[in-house]
Amino acid sequence: MKSLRRFFIRLANFATGQRADQRLQDELAEHFAFQVDENLRAGIPPTEARRQAAIKLGAAEAIREQHHAEQSLPFIENLLSDLRYAVRMLRKSPGFALIAIATMALGVGATTAIYSVIDATLLHPLPYPNPAELVHLEDYLPGVTAKAVGISIPELRDLQSSGIFQYVSIYGFGSVNLTGSAQPARIAFKPVTPAYFTVLGVNAQLGRTFNPNDATPGFNLEVVISDGLWRREFGADPHIIGKTLRLDNDVYHVVGVMAPGFRDEGRSTEERNTELWAASNFAADPAPPPLRSNRLRLGAIARLKPGLSIAAAQSRLDALVSSLAKQYPEDYPVQAEWTVRLIPLSEALVGNVRQSLLLLFGAVGLVLLISCVNVANLLLARASARGREIAVRQALGAARMRLLRQLLTESLLLFLLGGIAGFAVLFCARKFLLQLVPESLPRLNDISINWSVLAFAIAASLAAGLIFGLAPAWMMSRLDLTSTLRQEGRGSNGSQGRSRARHILVISELAFSLVLLVAAGLLLRSFWDLFQVQLGFNPDRVMAIQTWLPVPNDPATDPYRTATQEAVLLREILRRNRTLPGVEEAAIGNLDSLPLGHGRDDLNASPLIREGIELRSNQAPPIDTAIVSPEYFHLIGITLVRGRLFSGHDLEDTPSVAVINQAAARTYWPGQDPLGKRIRLDPTKPVWTSIVGITADAHTESLADDGTPQLYLSIYQRHAKDLAIFLRGQLDSGAIPAQVRTQVQSVDAELPVFHAETLDDVLSNSLSVRRFSMEMVALFAATALLLAALGIYGTISYLVNEQTREIAIRLALGAQRSNILKMVLRQGLSLAAAGAAAGLAGALMVSHLMAGLLYGVSPTDLTTFAGVTLVLTTVALAASTIPALRAMRLNPITTLHSE
Amino acid sequence: MIEKPDVLQGTLALMVLKTLDLIGQQHGYGIARRIEQISGDLLDVNQGTLYPLLLKLEHEGSIASQWGTSENNRRARFYRLTAAGRKQLQTETRDWEQTAAIIARFFNVKAEDLA
């Protein structure tokens, strides 16, 4: 309390610049006068009286200093004067300051940029109350190598009554036709069980969300809409609650409007931008009967009971699963090994991006490290230039701690200025930089350059300044006075310690760059290999446009209830689209037939029941299934190997047929001829499908995985609601969407036509995260190489400067100029060799950590390692050549004269 | 400049407070003179060091000061104890007496007392 009061008074005095000097002078004068009077009264002669009074008072200057220190805050005053001095020193050598600040700006700016992405995607908690309680549930059947097989309604009920969760909810994601407005709109839509919003723990801004205990088996015809949809389609109508809207021909009424800030959970931006939620318990039409064998391909989230850890919940869940498996052995055959896994929702949403981001952060961290090392190197170089100044100050009595503090202030200022400059550049360029981030990155919209990012930038530069400024400051303040004063100004050899430190710095810089170069090289090769993959299909000049048919809750109201009914529509759509300008071929398929990265990848597989092998769907391995029209294969360039493809005669009332790819043949009928084999796909219908053809493998599921088993069905036999129209030809991608819309809507005016894209775009989007991390790491590696080259250039130049005299003497004594060149280059080469050796060791460790991000290249790929080492050595040699040439061209006579 | 040991600094502050408590309002010279009188020459302080200490005590709120006129008609700064200072003096006196008593007991112990 007392000391706090004292501190504030001093702080106030410091801030207002209030001085107590005059007061002290007056008081001391007064004191002195009293004492002299007293001495005079004691009979001491005047001169002696004054002298004794002065002695008794003590050293006036020291008292003044003490008094001043008490009046104000000497620590801050010193800091300020150090800062002033530091600014003066930096202004005196603007070249040095500029290079150092620019280097740090680069390092801190890049690190902060990546940090802002990580801050948004990995560090920010989910925007729901108690996000740690939220989990994602995934069902696995490891025995039949099936993951994410979806969940059945009885299982959902078991989970809900297990006592592990407060609420469990399952949900789908897709889009729905909102009709009645000017243009049928396709709205991002989630059918959810009524507990969905209760699980997330969010409420509506207007009206309410769903009642979590609602037991309506199918859709209860209530919808909740987003704030955006409310404003866009309903003009922010305050009386919206209770009003009706028509979705896929069914009439729903609005019960709630979510708050403007509410964002749905989901992996993709589309899913996070969901605008419409409808509640259903998925136990009645259009969902299949609620049997254990009917796994719904839906996502599942839950909120744990408060205080329950993920691990504890998982172990209770395991117990539940094994008791259920015993209770229903028919539904959970032992060999399928049914398991349910809990994943924290925050992790489930980020998924595999985490690894890429951590790699980027590691890479950018190395760049920061290299920038710091470079600046430390510059500081050390300046240490020799300023040795004399420091020595003189020390000789004049500056305390070592005081010098150290001042030097440290100088380097901290330098690092901080660099950091702030980097942040400023980042802030100004944020719009441009955000465009480089792939759209598929989760939580992309949350990325912002905010206070926490600024705090990170400042903390990073201060920490860097403290670590990398301390060593040079320490070395500078430890000068040997006499020898420095004697040497400096002549051709000194500098201090041994300092040049050793510089060597270590350069070597570590080279090593770090090598690690980055190896990482970039490996990623580049992976990317290149992916790009060169034999696709097995031909995306050239192909466009896909989506149109979705309504899925009414009552099948009886569906105009396209049967495949035969739908076939009429599809044939007409195809016929009309073939007449569009430039169109050479047209085909139609469901969304799963759209190559690469569409729909919920993990949920588009259906169980494959082979005749004579599996009896039930829970034992069956899941297979990716696409439903296509006969023209699809030719249009997309998938070739037939044996058997036949679909024809226009494979209809609903003819025997059901399927085509598989070679991978499926290899996997499920090893050593047999699959042609003519029979399978069942829908466990509820006793219809057998015969395999009539085998196609060549194509990378339609993922570029990285070759040989994903794939099954094709004919769309005229099995209709689909989520349709993609494929067109090949000389297409005008600007005009096609509108033309296709006109054609489709002239057949059925209620159908929405949306999301036109070329397959080339789809292909390049599917690589976007990979391309992003590859480009970033390559950029960082190039930066690192540049910085390392600067570092080695600086060090060799410095060495040459130090050895000027020696070189001149050698030349004067008749040394060959080429020998001088070799001598200097050898020094550069030995640094490069040491750096490369250390870097290779580090790169071996790092490359194994990133094995999961590589494709088609081993983490110890010899070509990459050798190539990168060669590049580094070449650059190091090139950087040493400039000072080496300077040394070679030295004129011994003028040099020795000037020394 | 040799720093005075903390004990002495602390003691000096206590002496200042006690002096002001005894004689009421007083200027710096008066305080120094009084301390000198009481402690004899045992405490041979540089009297000037009193002023930074007075400033510190004032910052801490134990004493207050104002300009006034001295007994021989000179302008001088007069210090007086505040209520907080009086309280502080009381606690510190008690602490000091306790410490002194304990130390005294230790010094008075003879070997046979412990037997």
Q: CA separation (Å) from A898 to A232, A890, A891, A892, A893?
A: 81, 12, 11, 10, 9
**Nearest-by-Cβ selection for A2 from B27, B61, B75:** B61
Taking an 8 Å cut-off on Cβ atoms, the answer to whether B60 and A67 are in contact is: no
User: Please, are residues A246 and A550 in contact by the beta-carbon 8 Å criterion?
Assistant: no
What six digits make up the tokens of A893? 């006579």
Cβ separation B28–A71 shorter than 8 A: no
Distance, CA of A104 to CA of A416 (rounded, Å): 8
Helix (H) or strand (E) holding B70: none
What does the DSSP 8-state code read for residue A717? T
Percentage with pLDDT > 70 across chain B: 85
Under the banding of pLDDT at 50, 70 and 90, the label for residue A382 is confident
pLDDT of residue A46 exceeding 80, the answer is yes
Question: A480 falls in which pLDDT band (50, 70, 90)?
Answer: low
Across the interface, of A5, A33, A59, the residue whose CB is closest to B60 is: A5
- Tell me whether residues B1 and A30 touch, CB distance under 8 A: no
Can you tell me the distance from the alpha carbon of B75 to that of A525, in angstroms, rounded to the nearest whole number?
Answer: 88
Q: State mean pLDDT over A288-294.
A: 79
Q: Which of residues 10-29 of B touch A (CB under 8 A)?
A: 27-29
**Which of A311-320, A468-477, B11-20 has the highest average model confidence (pLDDT)?**
A311-320
Q: Cβ contact (<8 Å) for A31 and B49?
A: no
Distance, CA of A136 to CA of A851 (rounded, Å):
27
In this complex, the residue of B47, B59, B77 whose CB is nearest that of residue A56 is B47
Q: In angstroms, what separates the C-alpha of B95 from chain A's closest C-alpha? A: 18
> Which residue in chain A is spatially nearest to B78 when comparing CA positions?
A27
- The whole-number average pLDDT for the span A775-800 is 84
Chain A: closest CA distance from residue B103 (Å) = 28
3-class DSSP assignment, residue B55: helix
A355-372 per-position pLDDT tens digit: 788 888 888 888 898 898
Give dist(CA A120, CA A441) in Å, integer: 11
Pairing state of beta strands A753-758 and A583-590? Answer: unpaired
- In three-state form (DSSP H/G/I as H, E/B as E, the rest C), the secondary structure along A299-324 is EEEEEECCCCCHHHHHHHHHHHHHHH
Q: A236: exposed, middle or buried (C-beta count within 10 Å: 0-12, 13-18, 19+)? A: exposed
Other beta carbons within 10 angstroms of residue A442's beta carbon come to 21
CB contact under 8 A, B52 and A70: yes
**Nearest beta carbon to residue A57 from set B46, B56, B88:** B46
Q: Average the pLDDT over each of A63-67, A106-110, A425-429, A559-563 and give the range with the smallest value.
A: A63-67
Residue % of chain A over a pLDDT of 70: 93
The average confidence (pLDDT) of chain A is 84
Range name among A155-164, A175-184, A433-442 with the lowest pLDDT average: A175-184
User: For residue A602, what pLDDT band results from cuts at 50, 70 and 90?
Assistant: very low
Nearest by CB: B49 against A27, A35, A58 = A58
Q: Where would I find the beta strands (DSSP E) of A555-656? A: 583-590, 605-607, 609-610, 622-628, 640-643
> Are A628 and A586 contacting, i.e. CB atoms less than 8 angstroms apart?
no
Indicate the SS3 state at residue A372: helix
Mean pLDDT for B69-92 is 86
Q: What pLDDT shows up at residue A200?
A: 92
CA-to-CA distance for A850 and A861, rounded, in angstroms?
13
d(CA A298, CA A282): 10
Asked if B52 is an interface residue toward chain A (Cβ–Cβ < 8 A), one would say yes
SS3 percent helix, strand, coil of chain A, rounded to 5, is 55, 15, 30
User: CB–CB of A491/A807 below 8 Å?
Assistant: no
Confidence band of A727 (pLDDT split at 50, 70, 90) = very high
Cα distance between residue A788 and residue A846, in whole Å: 19
Contact A27 B55 (CB under 8 A): no
The count of other CB atoms within 10 Å of the CB of residue A125 is 10
Residue A482 pLDDT greater than 80, yes or no: no
The closest CB to that of A58, out of B29, B46, B75, belongs to B46
Q: List the alpha helices (DSSP H) in A681-803.
A: 736-747, 759-766, 768-802
- Phi (first) and psi of residue A474, to 5 degrees: -60, -45
pLDDT band at A630 (very low <50, low <70, confident <90, very high): very high
Across the interface, whether the CB atoms of A71 and B51 are under 8 A apart is answered no
Q: Which two tokens stand for residue A408?
A: 């440290």
pTM: 0.73
Phi/psi zone of residue A337: left (φ > 0), alpha (ψ -120 to 50 degrees), beta? left
Average pLDDT over residues B89-108: 89
By a Cβ cutoff of 8 Å, what residues of chain A touch chain B? 2-3, 5-6, 9-10, 20, 23-24, 26-28, 30-31, 33-35, 37, 56-60, 62-63, 66-67, 69-71
- State the average pLDDT over residues A217-233: 88
Contacts of A3 in chain B (CB under 8 A): 60
What is the structure's pLDDT at B6?
Answer: 47
Our CA dihedral for A299, A305, A309, A312, rounded to 10 degrees, sits at -90
Q: Which of A27, A62, A63 sits opposite B77 (nearest CB)?
A: A27
Residues of B (58-97) whose Cβ lies below 8 Å from A = 59-62, 70, 72, 74-77, 88
CA distance A594 to A546: 10
Omega before residue A286 within 30° of 0, cis: yes
Any idea what DSSP says for residue B4?
P
Confirm if A662 and A712 have CB atoms less than 8 A apart: no
Q: Is pLDDT of A491 > 60?
A: no
pLDDT at A524 over 90: no
Distance from CA of A875 to the nearest CA of B (A): 57
Distance of CA A600 to the CA centre of its chain: 21
State how far residue A54 is from chain B, nearest Cα, in angstroms: 10
CB-neighbour burial class of residue A329 (10 A; exposed 0-12, middle 13-18, buried 19+): exposed
What's the CA gap between A156 and A805, in Å, rounded?
A: 85
**What is the C-alpha to C-alpha distance for residues A576 and A876, in angstroms, rounded to an integer?**
65
What are the tens digits of pLDDT across the range A383-398?
Answer: 767 777 778 877 887 7
What's the DSSP call for residue A854? -
Half-sphere exposure (CA, 13 Å, Cβ side) for A243? 13
| A604 pLDDT above the threshold of 80 | no
Tell me how close the Cα of A310 comes to any Cα of chain B, in angstroms.
54
| pLDDT at residue A184 greater than cutoff 80 | no
Of chain B, the end-to-end C-alpha distance in Å amounts to: 48
Whether residue B57 lies within 8 A of chain A, CB to CB, comes out as no
The pLDDT, as a whole number, for residue A599 is 45
pLDDT band at B41 (very low <50, low <70, confident <90, very high): low
Look at chain A and count its residues.
899
Residue of B nearest to A25 (CA): B51
Q: Which residue of B has its CA nearest to A71?
A: B55
A63 → closest Cβ in B48, B61, B70: B48
Q: Do A56 and B46 touch (CB under 8 A)?
A: yes
Interface A–B counts its CB contacts (< 8 A) at 76
Q: Tens digit of pLDDT for each residue in B5-33?
A: 445 666 888 888 888 888 888 888 888 88
- Reported as a pLDDT band with limits 50, 70 and 90, residue A834 is very high
A62 vs B contacts (CB less than 8 Å): 1, 48
Chain A residues touching residue B75 (CB < 8 angstroms) = 26, 30
With 0-12 / 13-18 / 19 or more C-beta atoms within 10 angstroms meaning exposed / middle / buried, residue A651 is middle
Q: Which residues in chain A have their CB less than 8 angstroms from residue B76's CB?
A: 27, 30
CB–CB contact A6 B59 (8 Å): yes
What amino acid occupies position A845? M
Q: Cβ contacts (< 8 Å) between B47 and chain A: which residues?
A: 31, 35, 56-58
A593 secondary structure, DSSP code: G
Q: What is the pLDDT of residue A14?
A: 79
Cβ contact B47–A58 (<8 Å): yes
pLDDT category of residue A304 using cuts at 50, 70 and 90: very high
What is the predicted pLDDT for the residue at A485? 65
B55 vs chain A: nearest CA distance in angstroms?
7
- How far apart are the C-alpha atoms of A513 and A872, rounded to whole Å? 8
Query: A694 pLDDT exceeds 90?
Result: yes
DSSP for A35-47, please give it: HHHHHHHTT--HH
